[in-house]
């Protein structure tokens, strides 16, 4: 597994914010958290491919939003926030080594944070960043490979994956306030114990949970999941969570 990452730029304090009030971000701390994240990915078996810093792209550490990687093809996104559109070219250039590429084209917009792939199902959050035109384009790209595209309304949070992520082979961790669990048929649904806790990162059979959410961590451990914990509180002030900081290429 390759994990594509980008360093935390000094400009992160000018990041986009949608649901959070701006708070000062301690750059050293954010960088230490990011370093810890990359080392954990390595320990879990990933090869980290860190791209060069993008000083003028405040949100560039959140690489997940720039691409959707399927086993058959990678899709370069057109991020919903205009300030983030300059982030995609560098990720596309590296993905070209591993996959053929398709792209979402204007006027459609989509962030990778709104796309949750589970087997041959692709759940797409309809959010402030992702629109139905993008869903339609994604369907044209992915349906020929046998994927079903399932649009999911998201309310109250930034992305679909703020509200729900995969925590096991056939299980999702979900916040019922932000997304309707009935969309996730044929999957085990586990409710978060803290509202912001739904974004976990599944690598192999390890589930990475942010240390700010001990009750959700315990709930997952009690259900038999193999849980890892990591500090991500500084990056969370930029409205980024765990899946956001990597693009995984299997």
Q: Which residues are catalytic?
A: 159, 244
Distance, in Å, from the CA atom of 67 to the CA atom of 49, rounded to the nearest integer, reads 15
Distance, in Å, from the CA atom of 202 to the CA atom of 242, rounded to the nearest integer, reads 10
| 164-168 vs 2-5, strand pairing mode | unpaired
CB closest to ligand CIR, residue no: 113
Distance, in Å, from the CA atom of 77 to the CA atom of 64, rounded to the nearest integer, reads 10
Nearest residue (CB) to ligand CIR, 115 versus 190: 115
State the nearest-atom distance from the C-beta of 58 to ligand CIR, in Å.
8
State the nearest-atom distance from the C-beta of 112 to ligand CIR, in Å.
6
Nearest residue (CB) to ligand CIR, 212 versus 221: 212
Q: How far is CA 135 from CA 41, 64, 143, 178, in A?
A: 30, 17, 11, 19
Q: Which ranges of 106-241 would DSSP assign to H, the alpha helix?
A: 132-142, 160-163, 214-222, 233-236
Residues contacting 185, CB < 8 A, separation 6+: none
State the nearest-atom distance from the C-beta of 222 to ligand CIR, in Å.
27
State the nearest-atom distance from the C-beta of 146 to ligand CIR, in Å.
25
Whether omega before 207 lies within 30 degrees of 0, making that bond cis, reads no
Positions that interact with ligand CIR (CB under 6 A)? 15-16, 18, 59, 62, 64-65, 81, 84, 113, 158-159, 161, 238-241, 244
Nearest residue (CB) to ligand CIR, 223 versus 242: 242
Please, which residues bridge with residue 202 across strands?
A: 207
Nearest residue (CB) to ligand CIR, 171 versus 232: 232
Distance, in Å, from the CA atom of 47 to the CA atom of 198, rounded to the nearest integer, reads 25
């Amino acid at each position: 597994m390759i994990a594509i990452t980008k360093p935390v730029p000094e400009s992160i304090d000018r990041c986009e914010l949608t649901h959070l009030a701006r708070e000062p971000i301690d750059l050293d701390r954010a960088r230490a958290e990011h370093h810890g994240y990359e080392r954990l990915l390595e320990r879990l078996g990933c090869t980290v491919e860190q791209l060069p810093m993008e000083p003028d792209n405040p949100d560039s550490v959140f690489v997940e939003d720039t691409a959707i990687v399927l086993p058959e093809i990678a899709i370069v996104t057109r991020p919903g926030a205009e300030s983030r559109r300059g982030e995609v070219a560098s990720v596309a250039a590296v993905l070209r080594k591993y996959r053929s590429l398709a792209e979402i084209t204007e006027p459609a917009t989509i962030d990778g944070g709104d796309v949750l792939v589970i087997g041959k199902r692709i759940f797409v959050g309809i959010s402030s960043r992702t629109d139905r035109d993008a869903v339609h384009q994604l369907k044209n790209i992915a349906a020929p490979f046998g994927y079903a595209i399932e649009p999911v309304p998201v309310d109250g949070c930034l992305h679909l994956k703020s509200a729900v992520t995969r925590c096991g082979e056939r299980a999702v961790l979900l916040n019922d306030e932000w997304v309707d669990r009935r969309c996730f048929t044929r999957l085990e649904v586990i409710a978060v114990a803290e509202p912001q806790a739904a974004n976990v990162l599944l690598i192999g059979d390890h589930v990475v949970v942010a240390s700010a959410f001990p009750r959700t961590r315990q709930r997952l451990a009690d259900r038999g999941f193999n849980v890892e914990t990591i500090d991500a509180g500084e990056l969370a002030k930029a409205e980024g969570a765990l899946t956001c900081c990597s693009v995984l290429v299997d």
